[in-house]
């Protein structure tokens, strides 16, 4: 018996990951993990449980044409009460997380430590009271101890661990930065609510191009940690772009993971004029049509909004559209009100 991860994407942008055995139906596995995918007959007769399989291999047991037509099945629709996975899968559920009685869950945590990685970034380590079923790349809302505020950060650690790690940009005067820089101490109570977000690593079926801007490296660290454990047979090119040389944090960890996984190329790019580096400028100054493999590539980008826009228009200039382009724009700054 093999257990696979099935990511359920709900209409409201919430994603939950369930574990489903290869002889188990997705609706049953979801129900076991307290998620009620809408269903009625459970026999492949009514069509109530119809969803859309975005990725992965699976088997469908018996169902009637009235429940799902051949044409729908050919398009990728599935009856989840008759679906058992043959690989990790991604399934789009045509209902909100509230309808399915699942919502981001608060998990109590305790600060283990804060690492000053550079002038511009912190590492935060949190011990969670229970593990959170997130996919590599997803984020959580992290409470700011001593305030009623929270901030959203991607995990930089591997899914399934009871220690959550985050890479956090130091924003002078920012509410989280002030906490991390001035008041944080081991044992502080902190709450993580999630997981959230649709920026996560899909089953890998083609070469990968990963683009990280600054602390946008965090989700890629989680993906690398995941692959170091699960294995990987696709080539990965990771561009890690920062402003100054001192901002290249966690590079040793990235390179060690790259070596462990194999077939991972790490390319750093530096924007600041005054710092010497073999590749200067922006990612778009170095990304070539070669990196896009004739379009047969999955692109993942996590960085500030201008980087997302620049890369998208660069693809247009190169005249190559990647098979998939997943991105996460992270908020570059906190507002004055937030910082107060």
Enumerate binding residues for ligand FES (CB under 6 A). 39-42, 44-49, 67, 79, 81
Question: Would you state the structure tokens that stand for residue 226, as one six-digit string?
Answer: 């995941």
Closer to ligand FES at the Cβ: 39 or 209?
39
Closer to ligand FES at the Cβ: 79 or 217?
79
Closer to ligand FES at the Cβ: 99 or 108?
99
Task: Give CA–CA dist 93/101, Å, rounded.
Answer: 13
Task: Give CA–CA dist 137/145, Å, rounded.
Answer: 24
CA dihedral for 116, 121, 127, 131, sign (positive or negative): negative
- Shortest distance (Å) from residue 25 CB to ligand FES: 9
- Shortest distance (Å) from residue 103 CB to ligand FES: 23
Closer to ligand FES at the Cβ: 100 or 242?
100
Closer to ligand FES at the Cβ: 67 or 221?
67
Question: Would you state the structure tokens that stand for residue 175, as one six-digit string?
Answer: 């509410």
Beta bridge partners of 208: 236, 298
- Shortest distance (Å) from residue 58 CB to ligand FES: 14
Whether the link from the prior residue into 195 is cis, omega within 30° of 0, is yes
- Shortest distance (Å) from residue 67 CB to ligand FES: 5
Closer to ligand FES at the Cβ: 78 or 261?
78
Strands (E), 155-262: 163-169, 189-196, 208-213, 236-242
Q: What share of the chain is helix, strand, coil (3-state, %, to 5)?
A: 25, 35, 40
Task: Give CA–CA dist 47/39, Å, rounded.
Answer: 8
Task: Give CA–CA dist 144/176, Å, rounded.
Answer: 6
- Dihedral angle at the C-alpha atoms of 245, 246, 247, 250, nearest 10 degrees? 100
- Shortest distance (Å) from residue 216 CB to ligand FES: 40
- Shortest distance (Å) from residue 27 CB to ligand FES: 7
């Amino acid at each position: 018996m093999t257990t696979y991860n099935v990511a359920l994407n709900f209409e409201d942008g919430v994603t939950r990951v369930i574990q489903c055995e290869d002889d188990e139906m997705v609706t049953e596995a979801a129900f076991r993990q307290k998620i009620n995918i809408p269903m009625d007959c459970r026999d492949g007769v009514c069509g109530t449980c119809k969803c859309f399989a975005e990725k992965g291999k699976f088997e469908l047991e018996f169902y009637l044409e009235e429940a799902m037509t051949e044409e729908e099945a050919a398009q990728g629709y599935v009856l989840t009460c008759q679906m058992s996975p043959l690989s990790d899968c991604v399934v789009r559920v045509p209902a909100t997380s509230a309808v399915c009685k699942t919502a981001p869950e608060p998990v109590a945590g305790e600060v283990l430590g804060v690492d000053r990685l550079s002038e511009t970034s912190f590492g935060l380590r949190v011990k969670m009271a229970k593990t959170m079923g997130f996919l590599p790349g997803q984020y959580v809302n992290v409470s700011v101890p001593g305030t009623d505020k929270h901030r959203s950060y991607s995990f930089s650690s591997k899914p399934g661990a009871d220690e959550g790690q985050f890479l956090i940009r130091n924003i002078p005067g920012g509410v989280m930065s002030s906490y991390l820089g001035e008041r944080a101490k081991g044992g502080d109570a902190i709450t993580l609510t999630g997981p959230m977000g649709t920026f996560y690593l899909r089953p890998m079926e083609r070469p990968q191009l990963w683009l990280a801007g600054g602390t946008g490296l965090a989700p890629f660290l989680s993906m690398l940690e995941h692959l170091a454990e699960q294995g990987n047979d696709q080539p990965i090119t990771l561009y890690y772009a920062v402003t100054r040389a001192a901002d290249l944090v966690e590079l040793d960890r990235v390179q060690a993971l790259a070596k462990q996984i194999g077939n991972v190329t790490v390319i750093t790019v530096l924007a600041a004029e005054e710092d010497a580096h073999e590749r200067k400028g922006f990612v778009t100054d170095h990304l070539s049509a070669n990196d896009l493999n004739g379009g047969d590539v999955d692109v993942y980008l996590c960085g500030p909004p201008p980087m997302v826009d620049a890369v998208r228009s660069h693809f247009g200039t190169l005249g190559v559209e990647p098979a998939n382009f997943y991105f996460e724009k992270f908020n570059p700054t906190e507002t004055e009100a937030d910082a107060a």
